[in-house]
Amino acid sequence: MTFLKYAALAGALLAVGAAQAQVGLTLDAGTTGAGFHVVVPMETYLNGRFGANYFKHDFDKTSNLVNYDIKGKLQTFDVLFDWYLREGSPFHLTGGLVYNGNRFDVTGKPSVAGQFSLNGHTYSTGDVGSLVGTVDYRRAAPYLGIGWGNALKSNSRLSFSADLGAFFQGHANVKLGSYGCTAAKAVCDAVVKDVAAERLGLQDDIDSLKVYPVLRASLNYRF
C-alpha cells in the first residue's frame, strides 16, 4: 500500500512538472531492485530525483551452527539531488536521503537429525519449538554516490544513465526468539538464554551490511 501511495505521489509530481517545466522519468534496475524516479530541474547544475524501488530476495544463511531460511523484502524510497560539475556534463555527484523499508523474516531450520545447536548446546525441535525472527534497519539512511547521465539534458527524449553509490543503513535490528517449547521449564529457560546468544551472533554476521551498495542502470524518458 505504501508503494502505491508513493507511486501516486510521483505521478502527481510528474503531472505538475510537465505542466510547468521540463521533467523526466526513469525506469531503473539494480541492487535496490526494480523502480522508477521522477526527475525535475532545481537549478542550472542541479536536478532532483524522487523515486521508489522494490525487490524480493530470499536466501539461506548459516550463523554459528544454525541454518536460517531468510525471506527478504527490499523496499526503498529516494529523495536524491544530482549536482553536475559543469553545464552540459553528464557526470554528477549525488546526495540525498533514502527511506529504508528493507526487512527480512528469519526462520531457523533444524538439522537432518531434527536438532538445533544453540550456543554450543544441542536441543530437539520439541525443546526449541519454532525459531523465528526479523531483521530490519533504521528508516532514514543518507545516500552518497556518483553517476553518469542527465535525463533532462540528453539529445533525444530517450537516454541511459547509471548510478554508483551507497546508503548507510547502520546496525541491523535483529529479533530472534523460540516459541512453543514443550520441554520442562528448566530446559525452556535454557533455550531462551541460548537463543539470546544466537541472536547476538546473527546480528554480528548481518552487520556487514551497514553500508548497502547501490549499482543502478536507468532508461530515461524526457517529456
CB-CB contact of 74 with 100 (8 Å): no
CATH architecture designation of domain 2-222: Beta Barrel (2.40)
- Predicted local confidence at residue 5, as pLDDT: 52
- Owner of C-alpha cell 527490499: 74
Helix (H, G, I), strand (E, B) or coil at 150: coil
Q: Which three cell numbers stand for residue 103?
A: 526487512
CA atoms within 13 A on the CB side of 96: 23
Q: Where do the domains of the chain lie?
A: 2-222
The reported pTM is: 0.79
- Predicted local confidence at residue 194, as pLDDT: 95
d(Cα 41, Cα 38) in Å, to the nearest integer? 10
Residue 152, H or E segment = none
Please list the rounded mean pLDDT of every run of 10 residues in the chain (223 residues): 50 48 91 96 93 93 90 94 91 96 94 91 93 94 96 89 95 93 93 94 85 96 92
- Predicted local confidence at residue 9, as pLDDT: 55
